[in-house]
Amino acid sequence: MQIIGPAALLLVSLVMESTVLESLKIFGVKPDLVLVWVVLLALVWGPRRGAVVGFLFGFVEDLFFAKYIGVNALVKMAVGFIIGLGEGRLVKENIIVPVIAVITGSLVFWLSTLVLDFYLGRLLNFDLSILLASFLYNSVVALVSYRQFYKLGTNGETKVEVPVMEGARWTKRG
């Protein structure tokens, strides 16, 4: 799973982003699967591997979709490193942690992209509603998929507790 799993994940993500998710846009926004996967992998693997995964995933994304090669690689490497810093400090079993991590990673991604675009002489049409929709969409994807990433990062041991409504009471199911 060291190389094959993330490579397959990247390939599936790129195909889904360019095909299926094009028709599932909400307010003109689709989830950034590659960014979400970088954040979740960095969260369970730490800053060093998070930065490597971010760079590689971003570089491949640049090769296929970007106007400038290296922008996504650089920005997603930074996101992977920054989110990875929380690997040993956060209670990853809490389902809210990946949501906060994805929102933080999305914010770092957007701010870094704005700065790089400024230096490249490109103007971005910054719209707060698009930014918030992106955060929400990416967070939902993270909620749905985090358990599998946690399992991947902990060699199959899953301790993530998901709150479930049973009758009139909330219980935790792990």
pLDDT digits (tens, 9 = 90+) for 111-128: 998 888 888 887 766 778
Q: What pLDDT is stored for residue 18 in this prediction?
A: 84
Which of the two residues, 100 and 18, has the higher pLDDT score? 100
Angle between helices 71-84 and 33-45 (to 10 degrees): 40
8 A C-beta contact, residue 133 and residue 32: no
Cα–Cα distances (Å) from 76 to 19, 23, 26, 71, 110, in that order, read: 22, 25, 23, 8, 10
Structural domain total, the chain: 1
**CATH (domain of 38):** 1.10.1760
pTM of the model: 0.81
Residue-number span of the structural domain to which 164 is assigned = 4-173
Q: What pLDDT is stored for residue 116 in this prediction?
A: 86
pLDDT tens digits, one per residue of 82-96: 999 988 888 777 888
Band (pLDDT 50/70/90 cuts) for residue 160 is very low
Q: Return mean pLDDT, the chain.
A: 82
Q: What pLDDT is stored for residue 8 in this prediction?
A: 83
* 169: pLDDT strictly greater than 60: no
* 171: pLDDT strictly greater than 60: no
Task: For residue 94, report the phi and psi dihedrals to the nearest 5 degrees.
Answer: -75, 125
Taking alpha carbons only, the member of 113, 133, 6, 3 closest to residue 66 is 113
